[in-house]
Amino acid sequence: MAEIVIRTADETAFEDEIEEDLFPIAFQMTETEDLMELTANVHEFSEEDIEVRLRGKQLIVIGYRGDRGGDLEDGDAFLGFEKSFALPEGVHAEQVKAAIDDGVLIIDIAKGASLEARWSR
């Protein structure tokens, strides 16, 4: 499992944001009393292509691969998506963990507790 760094809005690694979804990504959410988990099939992207940001009460997931001027025939086509989710009150960066495991993006969001025990496996 390749862990992804959770960034604040001012720590972004990407030059600009995606203006529109150019690649459809469907997220599934499961929720328990203590945890929200978002998952998505992102097999077209590597961990370097995915950025997870916290901006206030918003979790923003951006995928960005290829050259905007690229061409499908050359295999360099630009793929991009941006999704945002409202977070529960009081969630902080240390309560959010993200990773890609076998082409599946997994984002765990603890409600009021740390994720260290869950992610130390």
Query: Parallel, antiparallel, or unpaired for β 50-55 and 6-8?
Result: parallel
Tell me the CA distances in angstroms from 58 to 9, 17, 68, 83, 95, one per residue in order: 10, 15, 26, 10, 13
| Rounded CA separation 28/41 (Å) | 9
Task: Classify burial at 121, counting beta carbons within 10 Å of its beta carbon; exposed 0-12, middle 13-18, buried 19 or more.
Answer: exposed
Per-residue pLDDT of the chain (121 residues; tens, 9 = 90+): 767 777 765 655 554 554 555 677 899 999 888 888 999 999 988 888 899 988 878 888 988 887 655 555 555 567 788 898 888 776 777 788 999 999 999 999 887 655 544 444 4
Fold of the domain built from segment(s) 2-119: Immunoglobulin-like (2.60.40)
CA 49 to the chain's CA centroid:
10
- Closest Cα to residue 113, out of 35, 49, 3, 29? 35
pLDDT of residue 102: 93
